[in-house]
Amino acid sequence: MGSVKLVTRASPCSVFNPHYPETRSRSQIFNPNPNPLLRVPISLKGGKATTKPFSFIVSASLRNENTVTIDEAEKETTFNFNAYMLEKGDIINKALDAAIALKEPQTIQEAMRYSLLAGGKRVRPMLCIAACELISGRQEMAIPAACAVEMIHTMSLIHDDLPCMDNDDLRRGKPTSHKAFGEDVAVLAGDALLALAFEHVAAATKEVSPERVVRAIAELAKSVGGEGLVAGQVMDIHSEGLSVSEVKLERLEFIHIHKTAVLLEAAVVLGAIMGGGTDEEIERLRKYARSIGLLFQVVDDILDVTKSSQELGKTAGKDLVADKVTYPKLLGIQKSKDFAAKLMNDAHEQLSAFDPDKAAPLYALANYIAYREN
């Protein structure tokens, strides 16, 4: 087994930077002491994690120096994460654009396109493609599934922003769907994206066996229904206004496994299914995805109390206003960061069983999720 060494520069904006401000001044509820330098695993040799002082970030700004270097005996190859993000992002955006053609009634198509093509990091579809290629599948086999996951993610954002839910006015730096089109059209646009996701997987997937396509559709449906995203959302609503003593860590974890992690998990598992993965490979990647899914939410909670709305491209501090229990509120900033470091270590451990060259995008995407700035 070769080694995976992540080579990037530290960013002063990372939530893990020891000098990064713990909170915005208006969020006095959190005021921990300055953090010591985090120590997180950034190198895997022979399947075992080695620990080095944390000093890197894969930034949303996509700096040219962000690379993953893979050393195997005397061979050294470099995986350029920035180039990967730009290449896959362009492919995904073109596929999403082609999936929704403008036709009558144009209002609903425009509303669907408005939210779906509004930008975003495209982490979920990239995870889907990376998992497929890790199993030796081709990206064309995974693109319809990757688009479907992004459609469902966009649907969840549209509905989450509605006045009856989080009542948000800003998403990806733009007015939310209901602000741009009205509540009625926003609800219908979300519904249409959900339906289109399943149609797209069934109709557009090529060179994958029908059995695997059906398995992927079942996985996707479970991730968004009463045992998945919806379950997390309902539990989240019922937890608003409860005190920290009333919302234990297990309840918070249930919310975020179902509300956030489950769709990242679906993205990775769908990619592995389409790529022809064995049950063992699929379950290992499922565990990887579960870890980075929770990691995504922990970082999101930290950013929500340490970044401005302009920096995030969405309303900052809204969980605090809604009196929701978050990881920083329950654990504190430092323990939240420690938990994030553990989750990334767990994700890396699951990847150690795979070829390091092929796993490089998934290593890099895990770190991108951990050290993103918005």
Task: Quote the CA–CA distance of 141 and 208 in Å, as a whole number.
Answer: 7
CB atoms within 10 A of CB 101: 8
Domain ranges of the chain: 81-371
Left if phi > 0, otherwise alpha if psi is -120 to 50, otherwise beta: which for 122?
left
pLDDT at 101: 87
Q: Give, for all 374 residues of the chain, the pLDDT tens digit.
A: 444 555 433 344 455 554 444 433 333 222 222 222 222 332 333 333 333 332 233 333 333 334 444 444 444 557 899 999 999 999 999 999 999 988 889 999 999 999 999 988 899 999 999 999 999 999 999 999 999 999 999 999 999 999 998 889 988 889 999 999 999 999 999 999 999 999 999 999 999 999 999 999 999 999 999 999 999 999 988 888 787 778 888 999 999 999 889 999 999 999 999 999 999 999 999 999 999 999 999 998 888 877 656 655 556 555 655 567 888 888 888 899 899 999 999 999 999 999 999 999 999 999 988 888 76
pLDDT at 323: 65
pLDDT at 78: 76
Query: Residue 25 carries which side chain, given as an amino acid letter?
Result: S
What does the DSSP assignment read for 330-341?
Answer: HH-HHHHHHHHH
At residue 37's C-alpha, the angle toward residues 31 and 42, to 5°, is: 130
pLDDT at 306: 74
If residue 150 lies in a helix (H) or strand (E), which one and from where to where? helix 139-160
pLDDT at 17: 54
Strand-pair partners of 171:
174
Pairing of strands 75-80, 67-72: antiparallel
Q: Please report the sign of the dihedral spanned by the C-alpha atoms of residue 77, residue 292, residue 93, residue 180.
A: negative
Q: Is residue 235 within 8 Å of 255, Cβ to Cβ?
A: yes
Residue labelled with tokens 């990206």: 139
Q: Is residue 217 within 8 Å of 203, Cβ to Cβ?
A: no
Q: Which residues, 6+ apart, have CB-to-CB distance to 215 below 8 Å?
A: 273
DSSP annotation of 32: P
With CA atoms as reference, report the closest residue to 1 among 58, 72, 93, 90. 72
pLDDT tens-digit map of 107-157: 999 999 999 999 888 999 999 999 999 999 999 999 999 999 999 999 999
Q: Is residue 189 within 8 Å of 111, Cβ to Cβ?
A: yes
If residue 309 lies in a helix (H) or strand (E), which one and from where to where? helix 309-312
With CA atoms as reference, report the closest residue to 26 among 216, 298, 305, 286. 305
Task: Quote the CA–CA distance of 148 and 29 in Å, as a whole number.
Answer: 39
Q: Is residue 67 within 8 Å of 79, Cβ to Cβ?
A: yes
Task: Quote the CA–CA distance of 335 and 327 in Å, as a whole number.
Answer: 9
CB atoms within 10 A of CB 190: 26
Residue labelled with tokens 């001044």: 25
Fold of 81-371: Farnesyl Diphosphate Synthase (1.10.600)
Q: Which residues, 6+ apart, have CB-to-CB distance to 6 below 8 Å?
A: 42, 43, 56, 58, 68, 69, 363, 364, 367
